[in-house]
Amino acid sequence: MQRTAIKDILLDNRIHMIIPVPLHQKRYLERGFNQTEILADFLHILSSVPIHLNCLKKTKHTRTQTGLNRQGRKNNITKGVFEIKAAADIKEKNVLLVDDIITTGATLDRCAEKLLTAGAKAVYGFTIAKTM
């Protein structure tokens, strides 16, 4: 995994859009917010790169990843959990995919796979924290 300073990625016009990892509607209603959207808003303020909330959707309600081991996390985020909703917006674009915490990378991997299959040119991942 290559690590690059976020300011370098955002400010050199490498990124065309910011996409926060979506929550399932049920979880969103329980919480009242999506923490990845808050992070995406902050990155947008720093860079003016537009946020796209409707390109990627979580279509299956899964249990929270908290407390699951590595294999449990990968099994929880199975194929078909995320769907592309606006493929035309993604074509040939460099995407910054925003999540809050990376543990195994299962969520970012699944989302990036969907975005690349839909025609994204490149997908960069951004998280605020990594578990140890």
60-84 residue pLDDT tens: 776 565 565 565 555 656 667 888 9
Q: Based on the structure, what is the number of domains in the chain?
A: 1
**What is the residue range of 17's domain?**
6-130
Asked whether residue 46 is assigned to any structural domain, the reply reads yes
Asked whether residue 1 is assigned to any structural domain, the reply reads no
Asked whether residue 95 is assigned to any structural domain, the reply reads yes
Instruction: Specify the CATH number for the domain of residue 85.
Output: 3.40.50.2020
Q: What is the pTM of this model?
A: 0.83
40 SS3 class: helix
Asked whether residue 114 is assigned to any structural domain, the reply reads yes
90-131 residue pLDDT tens: 999 999 999 998 888 888 999 999 999 999 999 999 998 777
Which pair of structure tokens corresponds to residue 55? Answer: 């390109």
Place of tokens 């025609």: 119
Which residues are CB-neighbours of 86 under 8 A, at least 6 positions away? 52, 54, 55
Phi and psi torsions of 124, nearest 5°: -110, 140
Return the CA Rg of the chain. 14
